[in-house]
Structure 1
Amino acid sequence: MTIHTADICDDHFDKIKVADSIFSQYGKKKAFHGPIYTVKVFEDNVLVKKALETIPEGSVLVVDGGGSRKRALMGDNLVDIAVKRKLAGIVIYGCIRDSSQVNEMEMGIFALGTNPLKSIKQGKGQENIPVQFAGVSFEPGSYLYADEDGILISENQLY
């Protein structure tokens, strides 16, 4: 079943929050939805990799990277983990790299942009906490719906 964010807005306007349109889309998968899991990091992707390896299948990983455009938090190797583990999609308040390879992969990703510089590896950050960016709060366990028209957040699963 294909779920369109425009239809969700029409049917459930009082139950959703709409994220600001600040992202670019990457990967072959243009629409995705699922329960939210979060990490909050800054130019360090150790917890991002850990989350990709451990969160449940069908989940959406939301990465609050502080909006940094100085280093990439994810490249094709980490996206490959998400594909193999059948995650629904990824939202990154930060950058990715290896975009030409990522665009050929069966994953949906929203990110601020690209940067070829890899992240640092210190393991600093927080896991599964509420994070705020793009004008909305991403609460672990809430649901995210995303497609070419944007990103929606709902406290409960709508479909």
Structure 2
Amino acid sequence: MDALVLQRTYLDLTTPHVADACMRLGIAVRLAPSAVRPVWSGTHFVGRVCPARHYGSVDVFLEAIDTAERGDVLVVDNGGRMDEACVGDLVTLEASLAGMAGVVIWGLHRDTVELKAIRLPMFSLGTLPVGPQRLDPRETEALVSATCGATLVTAEDFALGDDDGVLFIPLKRAAEVAEVATAIRDTERYQAARMRLGKSFREQARFDTYLQSRLTDPEQTFRQHLRAFGGEIEE
């Protein structure tokens, strides 16, 4: 799935929709740690992963951006370090001018005021004014893969981010994940609309029926009950 189709397909899908879809399809839910947060609220992006490991200099980021395609998401691996900021306004502006869709940092950022003006979606562990004061040896995998918490990502993955966090999904599963996520989204919207018109979720979920059936079959789960008539809200 190319960048344009990816953008169009996931434009109105949230990370909760997609996480539920992954679980329903048996795809491992791979995500950035919950401490990786957007620099401002109302953020949403989707794009193929462009990995870059940081060693103390911005040259690795410039090289990653130079080889990136429009719509990619720069995923920066700084090992979760909290003693230095590794991405600031110039790298972010460069990524924006290259048409990238966003930046995810397993580490810290700086130049927050400028970043908010640039408005390229960014997630990080937080902010710190001081940059790196080191220059470590570069690994051969510097532009091949990156870690974000316990998750290893490559260009075979895409990233989806919003105010609830960042998910990483195999590109080859993008279409089927989107199809299931769309069905989940539409079901939840329909249920919410009916609730606003006065029909409680307990009524829609036939909760009394579930409680009665559980008396005769204690092994039955609420998920199984909902699945029987297409009312799934969780998996």
Distance in 1, Cα, partners of 2:83 & 2:56: 8
- Secondary structure of the equivalent of 2:71? coil
1:87–1:29 Cα change, 3 Å: farther
* Letter aligned with residue 83 of structure 2: K
Query: 1:97-137, CA deviations, whole angstroms, 9 ceiling, x for partnerless residues?
Result: 10111122221111111121233585853433233332322
Per-residue deviation, 1:24: 2.5
> What is the aligned partner in structure 2 of residue 117 from structure 1?
130
Distance in 2, Cα, partners of 1:11 & 1:28: 24
1:77–1:27 Cα change, 3 Å: farther
Per-residue deviation, 1:48: 1.4
TM-score (normalised: structure 2) = 0.61
> What is the aligned partner in structure 2 of residue 58 from structure 1?
71
TM-score (normalised: structure 1) = 0.86
* Letter aligned with residue 13 of structure 2: I
RMSD: 2.2
Q: Structure 1: which 5+ residue stretches go unaligned?
A: none
1:84 corresponds to 2:94? no
> What is the aligned partner in structure 1 of residue 58 from structure 2?
45
> What is the aligned partner in structure 1 of residue 110 from structure 2?
97
Distance in 2, Cα, partners of 1:115 & 1:43: 15
Larger proportion of helix: 2
- Secondary structure of the equivalent of 2:18? helix
Query: 1:25-59, CA deviations, whole angstroms, 9 ceiling, x for partnerless residues?
Result: 12577111111111112333220122123311100
* Letter aligned with residue 47 of structure 1: V
Which among 12, 36, 40 is matched to residue 2 of structure 1?
Answer: 12
1:119–1:26 Cα change, 3 Å: same
Which among 146, 155, 163 is matched to residue 148 of structure 1?
Answer: 163
1:152–1:65 Cα change, 3 Å: same
Larger proportion of strand: 1
Q: Structure 2: which 5+ residue stretches go unaligned?
A: 1-10, 179-235
**Who wins on radius of gyration, i.e. which is larger?**
2
> What is the aligned partner in structure 2 of residue 26 from structure 1?
39
